[in-house]
Amino acid sequence: EVQLVESGGGLVKPGGSLRLSCAASGFTFKNSWMSWVRQAPGKGLEWVGRIKSEADGGTRDYGAPVKGRFTMSRDDSENMLYLHMTSLRTEDTALYYCMIEGDGYWGQGTLVIVSS
């Protein structure tokens, strides 16, 4: 069974940093392209970024609102996906999901609240 479990969310002050994790199981993680998607309270889905498999170059791309502030990484030996977030803003407050690109599997999300 495919499982994606996000963690690391919490309350952080504007300008602060946070690292989200996504533990993957039940599929061949190293071959998968992975994305982070977020959803602000009461709002729609917003793509945050995508990291390709290492076999496909490991390329990372990001949405304009987070480019330069957020960084995705992966540890294929541990089946882990990460999102390192810096210079956080109040508008980054959202439920953050990890997902497998193309397969449609999502985790249940981890909540990030940016507030003073």
Partner 1 sequence: SYELTQPPSVSVSPGQTARITCSGDALPKKYAYWYQQKSGQAPILVIYEDSERPSGIPERFSGSSSGTMATLTISGAQVEDEADYYCYSTDSSGNLYVFGSGTKVTVL
Min CB(29)–partner 1 separation in Å: 18
**What residues make contact with partner 1 under the rule CB under 8 A?**
35, 37, 44-47, 50, 59, 61, 63-64, 97, 102-109
> Dihedrals φ, ψ of 26, to 5°?
90, 5
CB of 78 to partner 1, least distance (A): 23
Nearer to partner 1, 16 or 52 (CB): 52
Nearer to partner 1, 27 or 47 (CB): 47
Find out whether 100 and 33 touch, Cβ atoms under 8 Å: yes
| Phi, psi angles (nearest 5°) of residue 79 | 55, 50
Helix (H, G, I), strand (E, B) or coil at 82: strand
- CA-based R_g, the chain, Å: 13
Closest separation in Å from C-beta 60 to partner 1: 10
Q: Give least dist CB 116 to partner 1, A.
A: 27
CB 33 within 8 A of CB 50: yes
Q: Which is nearer to partner 1, 52 or 84 (CB)?
A: 52
